[in-house]
Amino acid sequence: MLQRGENLGFLDVDKLTPMATSTAVHEALTDILVRLVDCEADEVAPSTPLRDLGVDSLMTVEMADEIGRRFDVYVADEVVDGYRTVADVVRSVAHHPSTAARVPATAVVASSSEPLPDPRPSGSRLAGAAAVMVVVGVVIGGLIGIGGSALVDAAGLDEAALPPLPSATPAPTPTSEAPPPEEEPAPVDPDVPQPTLQQPAPRAAPGERIELAGTFPGLGEGAVLQVQAKEPTTEWSDFPVTATTAADETFRTLVFTTRTGERRFRLVHVPTGGTTPEVVVTIG
């Protein structure tokens, strides 16, 4: 009988992530929320709105990062943006594609200490099969050679009568085509004020607040701007934070994340499609 920690060849039981059942995710989420917002454990019911527990947009991101870390899943920003209740969070992790495919540790067992038989043929069988193939090949080759010689003699052909083989025509050398020219960005009218975004500190610790501030001319007061984030290998996606323009068309908001690495941020006015320049912050 194998003991926990023994080498199973293809799976290390001690390194398995806990199965993300709904019960396990709910228990882990309760622990996170008790620590994050100092609520009571019995308040974390499936139908409880996160807002009623005191979870704001920044805490939602931190909560999603921590629950993803515990169950080794990546919760996309657009999914986090849709969190409304405790059940939404539990469902997104318990039904995550990577957790559904995970094999539980109890499925890896050893029924016997006896070694499995080697399905490969022995060396003597391989040698015998190879000898038979050699003999068959010699016989077939001899028959083909005798038949071909008789056919040439009967037709009155010799080597001189055979037509010459055509010479191989060298394949044309492919010519490299020039890559298509990159599309140039549309010219910017220098007389029209453009959106701005101030570059925050280039490096931040995980969980540290990052200020995004700038101006968005032409929108007036009260325009809602959507924060978007991007990693080096991903496309732009909505971050669960927005900003609102003031009377002087300035804006300011705070974001944070515990996911390490390079992150790019920008703000978008969805109705018009206008965007600010992007800023780059390295987390960690």
Which has the higher per-residue pLDDT, 63 or 6? 63
Res. 211: pLDDT tops 80: yes
Last residue of a domain, one of 72, 107, 142: 107
Last residue of a domain, one of 85, 107, 129: 107
Which has the higher per-residue pLDDT, 160 or 89? 89
Q: Do the domain assignments include residue 128?
A: no
Kindly report, residue by residue over 87-121, the tens digit of the pLDDT. 999 999 999 887 654 444 333 333 334 444 444 55
Please count the other Cβ atoms lying within 10 Å of the Cβ belonging to residue 101: 7
Q: Do the domain assignments include residue 239?
A: yes
Residue 268: per-residue pLDDT = 96
CA distance 214 to 244: 11
Angle between helices 57-71 and 86-94 (to 10 degrees): 30
277: left (phi > 0), else alpha (psi -120 to 50), else beta? beta
Q: Which residue in 174, 173, 215 sits closest to 198, CA to CA? A: 215
Which has the higher per-residue pLDDT, 246 or 129? 246
Q: Which residue in 244, 146, 55 sits closest to 67, CA to CA? A: 55
Range scoring the smallest mean pLDDT among 47-51, 105-109, 174-178, 184-188: 105-109
Q: What is the CATH number of the domain that holds 102?
A: 1.10.1200.10
Q: Do the domain assignments include residue 50?
A: yes
Cα-only R_g, the chain: 35
Tokens of 241: 């934070």
Residue 233 gets which letter from DSSP? T
CA distance 107 to 115: 19
Tokens of 1: 């009988």
CA distance 109 to 2: 8
- Cα four-point dihedral sign 129, 135, 140, 141: positive
Residue 274 gets which letter from DSSP? E
**Token pair 């732009």: residue:** 236
Backbone phi, psi, residue 49, to 5° = -65, 140
Res. 265: pLDDT tops 80: yes
Domain that residue 239 falls in: 196-283
Q: What is the CATH number of the domain that holds 271?
A: 2.60.40.10
Tokens of 154: 């009967």
Structural domain count of the chain: 2
Q: How far is CA 84 from the centre of its chain?
A: 25
Q: Do the domain assignments include residue 224?
A: yes
Residue 206: per-residue pLDDT = 86
Q: Do the domain assignments include residue 234?
A: yes
Last residue of a domain, one of 52, 81, 107: 107
Q: Do the domain assignments include residue 140?
A: no
pTM over 0.75: no
Please count the other Cβ atoms lying within 10 Å of the Cβ belonging to residue 155: 9
Q: Do the domain assignments include residue 228?
A: yes
Q: Do the domain assignments include residue 220?
A: yes
Of the spans 105-109, 114-118, 138-142, 208-212, which averages the highest pLDDT? 208-212
